[in-house]
């Protein structure tokens, strides 16, 4: 009766000394992250975001750390964030892509990206000299003033 017990103990010791093999899914890795860039106010732009293996990946975007709401002007297109018209006030700040593996719950945040938004505000022309249009004479000197604001200055 002792021999079967010794065989069982020997088998247990033999198999318990082998390392346990554990397989883990590959970690999410970005192949394209959003990059800061110049943009023109009112013009289109795109921030790109991609991972090496898009299986089970859900993308979302943050603007200044808050979840981004899609609109006609600014919306998620696949994994990317598309702007049909960049706005110098509404699009100020940082954007971040978040990739989440829905199978493993792994989450990866991209680097922050922002726009250097260039804009030019149209200004009106003001008559400086003479003081009124009625004082303008043919072939006389006229001084006009034009105030325009923009970025960069």
Q: What is the pLDDT of residue 41?
A: 95
> What is the Cα gyration radius of the chain?
32
Residue 4: phi and psi, rounded to 5, are -60, -35
Q: Would you list the domain boundaries of the chain? A: 30-119
DSSP string spanning the chain? -HHHHHHHHHHHHHHHTSPPP---PPPP-EEE----EEEETTS-EEE--EES--TTEEEEEEETTEEPPP-SSEEEETTEEEESS--TTTT-S-EEEEEEETTT--EEE---B-EEEEEEE---EEEEESSSGGG--TT---EEEE--EEE--
Q: C-alpha distances in angstroms, 128 versus 10, 84, 94, 142? A: 105, 40, 43, 8
Give pTM, 2 decimals: 0.70
| Section 6-31 average pLDDT | 64
Per-residue confidence at 2, pLDDT binned at 50, 70, 90? low
64 backbone φψ class: left, alpha, beta (φ>0; ψ -120 to 50): left
The Cα–Cα gap between 98 and 96 comes to 7
CATH fold of the domain at 30-119: Immunoglobulin-like (2.60.40)
Residues in the chain: 153
Residue pLDDT, tens place only, 27-82:
899 999 999 999 999 999 999 999 999 999 999 999 999 999 999 999 999 999 99
Residue 6 in this model has a pLDDT that exceeds 70: no
């Amino acid at each position: 009766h002792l021999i079967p017990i010794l065989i069982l103990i020997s088998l247990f010791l033999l198999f318990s000394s082998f390392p346990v093999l554990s397989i883990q899914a590959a970690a999410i890795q970005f192949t394209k992250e959003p990059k800061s860039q110049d943009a023109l106010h009112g013009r289109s732009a795109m921030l790109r975001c991609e991972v090496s293996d898009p299986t089970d990946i859900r993308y979302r975007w943050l603007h200044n750390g808050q979840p981004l709401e899609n609109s006609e002007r600014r919306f998620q297109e696949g994994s990317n964030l598309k702007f049909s018209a960049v706005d110098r006030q509404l699009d100020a700040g940082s954007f971040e892509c978040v990739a989440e593996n829905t199978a493993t719950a792994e989450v990866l945040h991209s680097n922050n990206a922002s726009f250097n938004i260039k804009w030019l505000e149209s200004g009106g022309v003001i008559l400086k000299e003479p003081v009124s249009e009625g004082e303008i004479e043919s072939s006389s000197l006229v001084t006009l003033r034009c105030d325009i604001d923009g970025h960069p200055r």
